[in-house]
Structure 1
Amino acid sequence: MDNFEEIKPELQEDAEVDALWITEDIRSYIYDAAKWTRFLSIVGFVLTAMFVMSAFSVGAMLSTLSTTMPGNPMLKLGSTVWTIIYLLFALLQFYPSFLLYKFSTSATKAVLFADQPSLGEAISKLKSFFKFWGILTIVIIALYILMIVLFVTTGGQAPA
């Protein structure tokens, strides 16, 4: 990281008008962010693996639940539906973890080797990560609003 030479234009006409300069401080921040995103992505991959293992063991969990609590409403959905739900959660965990991992590897390469295309790829993955969470947040807020509207219109009564 010490072998990077910061280049500044001598005259304003030498530089592009829309150019950004990556200072040593900025490089340090990107490098630190890359380390943390690598850690978070690994944790996300572990959680994804746990969701997948849970998805394929949901049948055993439901059979145990049926013996201990035979009237449990979770049993009505069946093991196939619960497997699909767990796999959906695994996918929702895997995709942002993958984006964070790609950001981490590209950002580290960009900082260590002063590689501009890698920095562009890293920022692209970071943008995709935040776009994913933004869309997911909008969906969750919409579902909450829908639940509130349904609760108000049904007067708080559970369907018969």
Structure 2
Amino acid sequence: MEDFENEVPQEVKLIVTEEMRSYFYDMSKWARFLSVVGFVISAFLTLGSFGIGAAVTANPGMLNQLGPLGGIGATGITIFYLLLALFFFYPSLLLLRFSAKVKQGVLFGDQENLNNAIAHVKSLFKFWGVITIILIASYFLLLLAVLAGGGIK
């Protein structure tokens, strides 16, 4: 008789049900929509960065109307808006890649594309996680600076 206690259990694999495939397909549509919106916002921010930089260079009096942002000058404003455009572009790119890969994976039953799609979602969550950590740390440091400086009067 065979010894079943020493037998190595077979690898358990996840099963993608038809309901899950439907959810993934719907997610791909929304991800594509959100990525397009993000790309449009990124394009407007990029165009706006050069437009506002040129406007401030032509009329330096505008710096006073820009509030705290006016202190960094025309080049600083252009760089700030370009960084903001990149901030919208990267997650939009990840969403677009996710959308394309998950759609291919679901429609053709392609495990590799589905794996790549999930990897893009992982990268998206990692990006937002790092941004969240940076914002929380910044708020904490700002709070410490306000408290060390004597607080708000």
TM > 0.5:
yes
Unaligned runs of 5+ in 2: 1-8
Higher helix content, 1 or 2: 2
The residue that corresponds to 1:18 in the other structure is 12
Q: What number of residue pairs does the alignment pair up? A: 144
The residue that corresponds to 2:126 in the other structure is 131
1:95-143 CA distance string (max 9 Å, x none): 0000000000000000111111100100000000001000100000100
Q: 1:70, CA displacement in angstroms?
A: 6.9
The residue that corresponds to 2:109 in the other structure is 114
Q: 1:73, CA displacement in angstroms?
A: 4.9
**Aligned partner of 2:30 among 27, 36, 60:** 36
Give the 5 Å matches for 1:64-143. 64=59, 66=61, 69=64, 73-143=68-138
Contact kept, 8 Å, 2:39 with 2:92, in 1: the verdict is: yes
Contact kept, 8 Å, 1:48 with 1:93, in 2: the verdict is: yes
The residue that corresponds to 1:6 in the other structure is none
Q: 1:157, CA displacement in angstroms?
A: 6.4
Q: Provide the alpha-carbon RMSD of the alignment.
A: 2.3
Unaligned runs of 5+ in 1: 1-14
**Aligned partner of 2:46 among 35, 47, 52:** 52
| Structure 2 CA distance for partners of 1:73 and 1:32, relative to 1, 3 Å | closer
Identity of aligned residues (%): 44
Contact kept, 8 Å, 2:45 with 2:81, in 1: the verdict is: yes
1:18 and 1:30 map into 2 onto residues whose CA distance is: 22
Point out 4+ residue stretches in structure 1 off by more than 2 angstroms. 15-18, 59-65, 67-76
The residue that corresponds to 2:5 in the other structure is none
Contact kept, 8 Å, 2:31 with 2:99, in 1: the verdict is: yes
